[in-house]
Amino acid sequence: MYSEYVENLDNEAKQRYIEKIKDINYKDPYLLHNTELSTSASDLPDVTYIDIVNYMVYGVSAYTLEEFKAYKSLQAYNLFSCGWVLNVFAKKMAAMCLVIGKVRHSQRLSEKPLSPWFLANRQGVIQSAHCTCMAGLGESCTHIAALMFFVQYTVLKREEKSVTSIEQYWGKPKKSVDFAQVKDIDFSTPSTSKESAPKEGSSVPEMEDVEFFKFCGQLRDAGCNSALLKVVPGFNDVEIGWLVS
């Protein structure tokens, strides 16, 4: 069973299409529902720039038996970088991985997006491709290449994991540490704790109110527009009798 698109192809193009999908048990990619496909980057084949060049430039056409030499298709990176690649899905099938997506027309944005797909093995070597555009039967159009560049970029970013994005791998902590608010955390080291700890029978001195208001007076005299002065009586136009300037 094939999609309406495939049934409307001429006999030669239809037979070539069927030959390409034999590696995925003759399942027509255009009949797969979104629920059968994955949007996870981990399911994409490991496509590299070299894989794209090997296919688009040195791949052999099934029609002419000559290399594609589709150098202009490598300019499709602009389609990808401009955001024209949409709704990319993947499906692992046997030893192959199918990637299918939507790509906007670069000059006719109001038209229905095109539907390119390609097949690659798990190592990223591209086996075949197709697109619903006029040049799609040639298997090396810019829309196919744009989809490949999207996958290559996604795989590259997938591999760039930082130590904060994955589970701790360098060893377990020697002791468990509970979460706490900053105000409740003791940042002192054992040495500084001994030096700063009050002696037995003594108490930690607190700033006297007189000293505090002297400090506020110095802020005022320095012309400082401090928010502190706006809430302290005597400096926010509230008179108090024992203010020391």
Pair (135, 236) in one structural domain:
no
Within a domain: 140? yes
Pair (23, 80) in one structural domain:
yes
Pair (17, 93) in one structural domain:
yes
Q: How many domains does the chain have?
A: 2
Within a domain: 43? yes
How far is the C-alpha of 209 from the C-alpha of 193, rounded, in Å? 28
Among 127, 124, 45, CA closest to 91 = 45
Within a domain: 167? no
Structure tokens at 123: 């190592």
192: three-class secondary structure by DSSP: helix
Pair (142, 51) in one structural domain:
yes
Pair (41, 148) in one structural domain:
yes
How far is the C-alpha of 125 from the C-alpha of 119, rounded, in Å? 9
Which residues lie closer than 8 Å to 232 by C-beta, 6 or more apart? 213, 216
Pair (133, 241) in one structural domain:
no
Q: Could you tell me the residue range of the domain that residue 99 belongs to?
A: 4-159
Note down pLDDT in tens along the chain; length 245 residues: 899 999 999 999 999 999 999 988 899 999 999 899 999 988 999 999 999 988 988 877 765 556 767 766 667 888 888 888 988 999 998 789 999 999 988 666 678 899 999 999 988 999 999 999 888 788 888 899 999 999 999 998 887 765 555 555 445 555 566 667 777 777 776 665 555 555 555 544 455 577 777 888 888 888 777 787 777 777 776 444 334 44
Pair (215, 146) in one structural domain:
no
Structure tokens at 176: 């468990």
Pair (155, 40) in one structural domain:
yes
Pair (42, 118) in one structural domain:
yes
- With both helix axes pointing from N to C terminus, report the angle between 49-56 and 142-159 in degrees, rounded to the nearest 10: 160
Whole-structure pTM value: 0.62
Helix ranges, 103-234 (H): 142-159, 190-196, 209-221
Pair (137, 212) in one structural domain:
no
